[in-house]
């Protein structure tokens, strides 16, 4: 059963928020506030009307006028509420993160509610689905490609798919379900180099990057290193 306060005093809002959090509820505060983050990087939010969410896991997010990401946030520390000079919500995020302090001049709306069930999500269409598709139809990678193992371990990390090409040459396949950048090429290169060291000194090892697309620079990087790009769209994609 959600509770709501309109234009509460700082004292009332502080008690309201503290009680709600103690009951495991999510608290939403809408009002005019300033915020500061002190730590490795300093960040200051000028006065403005924002939404603060204090979640039951003691994550605090402060959302401003635009964008998907919060303007400021903190998690990890205990959350403290103080009504000495306006309503102040504070949370220390630890050494690397820093400490967040949000001070409200005025709280327009304070709402507390039980976010029951609000954490069950089902996801599909991720890299795992792409892997399934490739394992099901290895020819998508390259005609004659034969998968032998997934997540095969090397000193440089696990190879997404390890196998042999039509000629029997050892091949490392790296999967990306998004347009691949230089980091993907470097990653594949590390795996191939590790395989060459692991296997016999004169062993030939190929590397294939499987992704819906690559950037131009990445395509050059791959070519320079004798690596191959194979375009494969993820299962649910509209551009089959």
List of residues contacting a second copy (CB under 8 A): 2, 4, 6, 26, 28, 30, 39-51, 53, 55-57, 59, 61, 63-68, 70-71, 73, 75, 95-96, 108-109, 111, 113-126, 129, 156-157, 177-178, 182-183, 186-187, 189-190, 221, 234, 236-238
From a second copy, DNA, none, which one binds at residue 200 (CB under 5 to 8 Å depending on kind)?
none
Binding stretches for DNA (CB under 7 A): 37, 39-41, 43, 59, 66-69, 72-75, 93, 96-98, 100, 123, 126-127, 156-158, 160, 174, 176-179, 181-182, 187, 215-218
- Kindly provide the b/e burial profile for residues 77-106, where b requires at least 16 CB atoms within 10 angstroms of the residue's own CB: bebebebeebbbbbbbbeeebbebbbbbeb
What DSSP state is assigned to residue 20?
A: H
The candidate with the shortest Cα–Cα distance to 3, out of 18, 16, 15, is 16
Q: Using the minimum distance from each CB to a second copy, give the nearer residue, 66 or 143.
A: 66
Taking the least distance from each CB to DNA, the nearer of 16 and 187 is: 187
Find the shortest distance in angstroms from Cβ 235 to DNA.
Answer: 12
Residue 185's nearest CA partner among 210, 222, 153 is 222
Phi, psi of 47 (to 5 degrees): -60, 135
Alpha-carbon gap, residue 199 to 232, rounded angstroms: 28
Q: How many CB atoms lie within 10 A of CB 145?
A: 22
Among a second copy, DNA, none, partner that 218 touches (CB below 5 to 8 angstroms by kind)? DNA
């Amino acid at each position: 059963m959600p509770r709501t306060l309109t234009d509460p005093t700082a004292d009332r809002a502080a008690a309201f928020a503290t009680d709600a959090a103690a009951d495991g509820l999510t608290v939403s505060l809408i009002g005019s506030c300033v915020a500061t983050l002190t730590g490795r990087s300093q960040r200051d939010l000028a006065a403005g009307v924002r939404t603060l969410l204090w979640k039951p896991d003691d994550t605090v997010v402060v959302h401003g006028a635009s964008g998907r990401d919060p303007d400021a946030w903190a998690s990890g520390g205990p959350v403290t509420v103080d009504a000495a000079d306006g309503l102040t919500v504070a949370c220390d995020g630890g050494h690397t993160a820093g400490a967040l302090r949000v001070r409200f001049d005025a709280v327009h709306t304070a709402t507390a509610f039980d976010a029951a069930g609000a954490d069950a999500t089902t996801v599909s269409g991720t890299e795992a689905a792409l892997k399934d598709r490739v394992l099901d139809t290895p020819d998508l990678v390259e005609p004659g490609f034969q998968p032998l193992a997934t997540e095969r371990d090397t000193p440089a990390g696990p190879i997404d798919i390890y196998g042999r090409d039509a000629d029997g040459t050892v091949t490392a396949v790296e999967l990306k379900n998004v347009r691949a950048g230089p980091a993907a090429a470097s990653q594949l290169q590390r795996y191939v180099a590790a395989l060459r060291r692991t296997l016999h000194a004169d062993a030939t090892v190929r590397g294939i990057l499987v992704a819906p697309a690559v950037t131009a620079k990445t395509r050059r990087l791959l070519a320079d290193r004798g690596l191959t790009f194979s375009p494969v769209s993820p299962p649910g994609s509209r551009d089959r």
